[in-house]
Chains A and B, each alone.
Chain A
Amino acid sequence: MLGKLIKHDFIGSAHSMLVVYLIAFISFAVTALSYLFNIKFLKFIGSFSFVVMVMGLVLITTIIMMNYFNKSLYSDQGYLSYTLPAKSNDILLSKAIVSFSWLAISYLILVGTVVGIIWYAKAKLGESLGADFDELLDMISAMTSSGGVPTASAIAKVIAAALVYGFITILVIVAEVFFSMTLSNVKPFNKLGFFGGILIFVAVYIVIQIVSSLVMVYFPLSLFISGDGLKLAFKSMNEVSNTFGLGGLILQIILSIGMFFATNHLMSKKINLR
């Protein structure tokens, strides 16, 4: 059942997401053509729309996921979603996997575009692209204080840490979106509508960011950036330099799991479709 839910959630949300990616691609194509054929008036319009589109991609994806979640569960479509022979946790998990996937794609496009623009700008200035790779190795080398070329293990650990950080960031956004939209459909918040869901999301997002930042700095558990790459240290970021506090991330994981459970509880026990 979960597989079928995921399939249909992908199909249902793809209509909006593919339009967004298509617009981003057209902006990119217009920009590329304007530079290739030196069409001056298109250069500004194309570049501006492309940069705005890509920079706003994660935000646009988040809003689309909010709307999709709200529409498929709490509008008239909810009458179908909630009468499917599926458990509410499967319905929630399916939407989480699909939302996570679209957000991950948007983040990858954003990162890829930023890297591409930097490399393009450097190439135009006559700087070697290979120099950037050397710079990256130097940066990892400096981070790990080992000097010289960092070991493959150190590079792998840094990349793994960055991926885990990215994974948790997206997970938290998805949990916040689902929790906020669901809460906005439960009394007494249900009078506020979709806009109320966005307000709750902003409030939840800000509170979690503030609390997790404080925990990150003061909780005595950190990733110590050492000569061997990364090591666990039972000291706070506040006490030792060259560390990255893990308390905030752990708190965010716990809160995300809590928000998923709370969402599932509200969905199965408290929601009264209008």
Chain B
Amino acid sequence: MENRNTVFQRDDYIVEINHLSKSYGSNQVLRDVSLKFKRGQFIGLLGPNGCGKTSLLKILTGLINDYTGEVLINGKRPGVESKKIVAYMPERTYLAEWMKPKDALKYFADFYEDFDKEKAAQMIQHFNLSMDQKIKTMSKGQQEKLQLILVMSRNAKMYVLDEPLGGVDPASRSYILDVIMKNYAKDATVIMSTHLIHDVERAFDHVLMIGNGNVLVDTDANVITDEGKTVEDLFKEVFRFAWEID
């Protein structure tokens, strides 16, 4: 929901989605969704499993192309140009098993002009990861940390993070969230899907809740807190109701 006292120009939005629908066979996961994401915001994408969050993120990153409706990133359809400015971290390990962190750094430096190799190397050292350890011998948490380092070392215009805290221990979550908060370009937009609302809600500028393929909540985080609620409270309220009508 936009702040009604402010008039936004088209250039203020990094993402514009109009009447987006996506189905897998007879299973419709997104139904006529229309959204706009403002530049420079940290957006929490929330919803129960299978609600369409990951499909929406895959569409934004150009991984899914067979949808109906219009999706514009920085004014263009998802494609080569949008991939140059979008840094994506999926919920799974997308690096080849034979790679070591030093190989992954070379790979990202080759393909992404906005990749800061020195920053990535410093973060790897900071996280106590070895440059010479093969990815297949790393724990799930170490793999996620490495991917997060690679993604956050890009000076991207938009960061798409799909469950970045899923595989890390509770002690590391706060630390990882700090890494995200400190390392994204300040004029960039961050879209993060998560189930761990309590751990991250302090970071959200804007909250988007999706259920059964529909947008149920699209509002600034301060609107929720002004009502004396937390984002987690609202989530429980909304989805209890959503599942009752389902």
Contacts and interface: CB of A to CB of B under 8 A. Distances in A.
B63 interface: yes
Interface stretch (A76-84, A105-113, A115-123, A155-163): A76-84
A198 B24 CA distance: 25
B62 A77 contact: no
Contact of B63 (A4, A83, A87): A83
Nearest to B61: A83
A8 interface: yes
B64 interface: yes
Contacts of A11: 103
Interface stretch (B82-90, B120-128, B193-201): B82-90
Contacts of A15: 98
A8 B63 contact: no
Contact of A273 (B58, B83, B107): B58
A270 B66 contact: yes
A76 B94 contact: yes
Contacts of A272: 24, 64, 66
B73 to A, nearest CB: 12
Contacts of A12: 96, 98
A226 interface: no
B80 interface: yes
Contact of A7 (B25, B63, B110): B110
Q: By DSSP majority rule, is chain B's interface helix, strand, loop, or mixed? A: loop
B120 to A, nearest CB: 15
Nearest to A4: B110
Interface in A83-131: 83-87
B92 interface: yes
Contacts of A273: 58, 63
A187 interface: yes
A145 interface: no
A269 interface: yes
B243 interface: no
Given A87-B80, A272-B24, A79 B92 contact: yes
Interface of A: 4, 7-8, 11-12, 15, 71-72, 76-80, 82-87, 187, 268-270, 272-273
Interface of B: 24-25, 58, 61-66, 80-81, 83-84, 86, 88, 90, 92-96, 98, 103, 107, 110-112
27 contacts: A4-B110, A4-B111, A8-B110, A11-B103, A12-B96, A15-B98, A72-B96, A76-B90, A76-B92, A76-B94, A77-B96, A78-B94, A79-B63, A79-B90, A80-B94, A83-B62, A85-B80, A85-B81, A85-B83, A85-B84, A85-B111, A86-B80, A87-B80, A187-B25, A268-B65, A269-B66, A270-B66
